[in-house]
C-alpha cells in the first residue's frame, strides 16, 4: 500500500481537516445556536438517560463509581456546547481534550461510541421543529465522535511509533 495523504496531516491540521470535512454552513451554525436554550432544558434528561445506560453494564459502570453526580454536570455542559454555534479549531481542541481524558482512564472506546443513540435521541427532541437543525445536529455529533476516536488513535499511534521507531512502519502495522 502506498502512503496516504491523510497520514501527513498532524497536530493542528487534524483539527482543521475535521472541521473542513463537516462542511458546516453559516445557516447550520446559526440554527444550532438559536436552539441552545432548548438544549439547556433537555440536558438533565440526557444526563439521566446516559448514566442509566452506563449503570446497566458493570464493566462500564466501574469507571464512574463515586462520580456520577459530577459527571452528569460535565456531560450537560458538553451537550450544551454542541449548540454554541462556534465550531472553530479551539472548539475541536477542547473536545479532543475530553476524548483524551477517556483514553487516560483506560476506557475502551466502544463504551463512548455505544452512547451515541442516547445523545441522538435527546438531540432529536431539541431539534424536532426543524429538519435542517436536526441534520446540523447529526453533523456535530458525528464530528464529536470522530474527535473522540482521534484521541484514541493518536495515543495508539504515538506509542507504536515509539516502539518501532518510525511512523511509516507503525502506520503499516496498524493497517494489517
Minimum CB separation of residue 92 from ligand HEM in Å reads 14
CA distance 59 to 121: 24
Look at residues 23, 25, 22, 73 and name the one whose alpha carbon lies nearest to residue 51: 73
What is the number of other CB atoms lying within 10 angstroms of the CB of residue 41?
11
Residue listed under C-alpha cell 472506546: 109
- What does the block give as the cell for 138? 447529526
- What does the block give as the cell for 100? 483524551
Minimum CB separation of residue 94 from ligand HEM in Å reads 8
Query: What is the contact surface with ligand HEM in residues (CB under 6 A)?
Result: 54, 60, 63-64, 71, 74-75, 78, 98, 101-102, 105, 107, 111-112, 115
The residue among 38 and 78 lying less far from ligand HEM, judged by its C-beta, is 78
Minimum CB separation of residue 172 from ligand HEM in Å reads 30
Minimum CB separation of residue 45 from ligand HEM in Å reads 15
The residue among 79 and 170 lying less far from ligand HEM, judged by its C-beta, is 79
Amino acid at each position: 500500500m502506498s502512503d496516504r495523504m491523510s497520514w501527513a496531516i498532524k497536530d493542528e491540521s487534524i483539527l482543521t481537516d475535521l472541521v473542513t470535512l463537516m462542511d458546516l454552513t453559516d445557516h447550520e451554525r446559526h440554527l444550532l445556536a438559536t436552539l441552545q436554550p432548548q438544549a439547556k432544558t433537555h440536558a438533565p434528561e440526557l444526563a439521566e438517560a446516559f448514566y442509566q445506560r452506563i449503570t446497566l453494564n458493570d464493566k462500564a459502570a466501574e469507571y464512574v463509581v463515586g462520580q456520577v453526580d459530577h459527571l452528569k454536570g460535565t456531560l450537560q455542559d458538553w451537550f450544551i456546547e454542541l449548540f454554541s454555534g462556534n465550531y472553530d479549531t479551539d472548539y475541536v481542541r477542547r473536545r479532543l481534550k475530553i476524548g483524551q481524558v477517556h483514553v487516560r482512564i483506560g476506557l475502551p472506546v466502544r463504551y463512548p461510541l455505544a452512547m451515541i443513540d442516547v445523545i441522538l435521541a435527546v438531540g432529536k427532541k431539541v431539534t424536532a421543529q426543524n429538519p435542517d437543525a436536526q441534520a446540523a445536529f447529526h453533523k456535530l455529533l458525528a464530528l464529536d465522535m470522530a474527535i473522540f476516536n482521534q484521541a484514541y488513535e493518536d495515543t495508539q499511534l504515538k506509542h507504536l511509533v515509539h516502539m518501532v521507531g518510525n511512523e511509516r512502519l507503525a502506520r503499516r502495522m496498524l493497517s494489517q
